[in-house]
Structure 1
Amino acid sequence: MPTLDLTADPIDLTAALVDIPSVSGDEAVLATALQQALCAQAPHLEVVRSGDAVLARTRLGRERRVLLAGHLDTVPVAGNLPGRREGDLLFGCGTSDMKAGDAVIVHLAATLTRPRHDLTLILYDCEEVEAARNGLGRIERELPEWLSADLAILGEPTNGTVEAGCQGTLRAQVRTQGRRAHSARSWLGDNAVHHAGAVLERLTTYAARQVEIDGCRYREGLQAVRIAGGVAGNVVPDECVVTVNFRFAPDRSAAAAVAHVREVFDGFDLTITDLSPGALPGLSTPAAQEFLAATGATARAKYGWTDVARFAALGIPALNYGPGDPNQAHTREESVDISMITRCASVLTRFLS
């Protein structure tokens, strides 16, 4: 079993975490190493295990509680382990998404024995795969009291900036129907792929909304992401399916997003296949304002969906803040700027101590 020194420089700790493979569904070794390290090196923390998630918290009776969360899993390794250091960059699978953030979180949890706020640490499994397997969902069902906090900070890669809330996401299939025929006698058929042009025309002329919430500007977008149709090279197709993805601002509820997409494609056969609500930024709360003051940054909208939405659904203001570069996530060349690890650790230490 690998041995981790949680009091080490977060840069070295990041390298150690990266070198323990933890592809989604295979996080047990890393989770056990972290559990053992927290139990041995952080006696001020209550530590429990949930599947391959590790949870820890203080019980100091502080007025506020801050929850620090990060996922342990990575996408499949792409020939980029073990990690390597080149100048100011640390390369390797999971460096940016999000073991640098995990390293900062566990380092702070272990070394800040008397934080100004009570702390909860959630290191969870299966974030990079389908939502039904996400460890946060299991924790919410089985250990809901562990998800109580006045502010949640998710260590997703943000390049050290504060990204508030997140967009919601909806996927739907828009179907057009026709009639099959031999392509040599096409006048006997009705081409469903040709009818899909009307679907694409609505997307081409769609005017995406922009909305400002808590000083953060969220841009919406409705795009075709896949088209499938056709039976064979000599058959007039009788069905075509256009898959669309709607990224919506967090002031829209999931139900409102569905209603909007149905309105856009009124008259077409539409099936919703995936739906996750967004998260409001919640920047007006005292805990969030205090964190922003500690960073000295101006929060910006999060483009994309993250697990802050799960916390927002529980009524917890949630922010994304981590040392990685989101543009590096999931690439063969994934890396993290080590100076960003130091900076994020410093900011969070200032906020919490």
Structure 2
Amino acid sequence: MSSPNPTPLDLTLDGGALTARLVDFPSVSGDEQALADAVEAALRGCAHLTVDRYGNNVVARTNLGRAERVVLAGHLDTVPIADNLPSYVEGDLLYGCGTSDMKSGVAVALRLAATLTEPNRDLTYVFYDCEEVEAHRNGLGHLARDRPEWLAADFAVLMEPSEATVEGGCQGTLRAQVRLTGVRAHSARSWLGDNAIHRAAEVLTRLATYQPRRVEIDGLEYREGLNAVRIDGGVAGNVIPDECVVTINFRYAPDRSEAEAEKHVREVFDGFELTVTDFAPGALPGLSQPAAQAFLAATGGRARAKFGWTDVARFSALGIPAVNYGPGDPNFAHKRDEHCSLTAIAETEDRLRAWLTS
């Protein structure tokens, strides 16, 4: 459990300074309690917000009776620290664990929560735990399951790193294991056995010659990928192995359902024993929705496909159109030299503020 942090969060800091404060407040997945406590305390100091808590998930809402409600959501956790704390600034870049993914986005949302007392839409701010680990631990998933009324909205913006560019939807992901069997034998008498690792050659050939699909949805091009991500096999240095397992990851465009994605993978590996081990559906970009169109226009009119899975899929499952939009650079997420542009933090806040007040 986190130890109490004596310094409260000051939501009057500018976005870059608040990001640095959040980054210097360690919150590796599973250890977010102290940061969730600080976020809750800071938001309870805002008289215009109603604040609720469920576990280490904090939800704050305006209740102004506006015709539309928008969710701004961001996760509080980071991957394990890689000797990249405390934060520091070089030029326009703020370095440190979580700067990109996604404490800069959380800082922007907190700034807006504290200062937008009369927005043109009702707002729900969601700060949740355990996004960077197994899906069953995801705090937004817990809210969707146990407190779905807290997430009710017409549109959602997930503050995932996107370089201050709208990234629509997300890919689905499927993981499966292809199991090859053989006959164990002494390697000095290999003709008495049947090498299971050698049998994986056909699996790898199918992967190497696979032609991934590209598909355009709402004007965004999604690229699929089917790849081996792990191979397990072998008994000892003098034994012909009788088992080999190839783990496959299929990243698929959001126009495929889970069933269609599984059917496709089974067709590719027809004739082999295949077991699906993990599944997360994608999310359509939904950029044709009026709320999404308004958001796109307010943030520069540029959009691209999201490569990877994000929690926009959870909003999509609830019937809420959602996009990814945050100041961080996804190419530097989880890296030792993770960083975020201070200019991008300010730009993201300014664009969201304009959209929510104009």
Q: Distance in 2 between matches of 1:77 and 1:186?
A: 47
| 1:97 paired to 2:105 | no
| 1:170 paired to 2:174 | yes
Corresponding residue number in structure 2 for 1:313:
317
**1:53-72 equivalent positions in 2, closer than 5 A:** 53-72=57-76
| 1:249 paired to 2:253 | yes
Structure 2 counterpart SS, 1:172: strand
**1:69-148 equivalent positions in 2, closer than 5 A:** 69-148=73-152
Consecutive unaligned residues in structure 2, runs of 5 or more: 1-5
Q: Which runs of 4+ in 1 moved over 3 A?
A: none
Q: Distance in 1 between matches of 2:38 and 2:301?
A: 34
Deviations 1:222-280 (A, max 9, x none): 01111111111111111111111000000000111111101110110001011100000
| Counterpart amino acid of residue 13 in structure 1 | L
Deviations 1:55-114 (A, max 9, x none): 001111111111000000011112221211222111111111100000000101110101
Corresponding residue number in structure 1 for 2:210:
206
1:161 to 160, 165, 173: 165
Corresponding residue number in structure 2 for 1:2:
7
Q: Distance in 1 between matches of 2:208 and 2:336?
A: 34
| Counterpart amino acid of residue 137 in structure 2 | R
Identity %: 68
Corresponding residue number in structure 1 for 2:24:
19
Deviation of 1:152 after TM superposition, in Å, equals: 0.7
Corresponding residue number in structure 2 for 1:348:
352
1:196 to 195, 200, 204: 200
2:224 to 207, 220, 223: 220
| Counterpart amino acid of residue 157 in structure 2 | I
Alpha-carbon contact 2:144-2:314 (below 8 Å) kept: no
Q: Distance in 2 between matches of 1:278 and 1:2?
A: 39
- Length-normalised TM-score, structure 2: 0.97
1:34 to 28, 39, 43: 39
Q: Distance in 1 between matches of 2:23 and 2:63?
A: 30
| 1:326 paired to 2:330 | yes
Structure 2 counterpart SS, 1:271: strand
| Counterpart amino acid of residue 296 in structure 2 | L
Deviation of 1:3 after TM superposition, in Å, equals: 1.4
Q: Distance in 2 between matches of 1:61 and 1:138?
A: 27
Deviation of 1:142 after TM superposition, in Å, equals: 2.1
Q: Distance in 2 between matches of 1:54 and 1:241?
A: 42
Structure 1 counterpart SS, 2:226: strand
Structure 1 counterpart SS, 2:296: helix
| Counterpart amino acid of residue 260 in structure 1 | H
Deviation of 1:2 after TM superposition, in Å, equals: 2.0
| 1:179 paired to 2:183 | yes
Q: Which moved more, 1:73-82 or 1:212-221?
A: 73-82
Structure 2 counterpart SS, 1:93: coil
Corresponding residue number in structure 1 for 2:3:
none
Q: Distance in 2 between matches of 1:340 and 1:196?
A: 46
**RMSD of aligned residue pairs (Cα, Å):** 0.9
Deviation of 1:141 after TM superposition, in Å, equals: 2.2
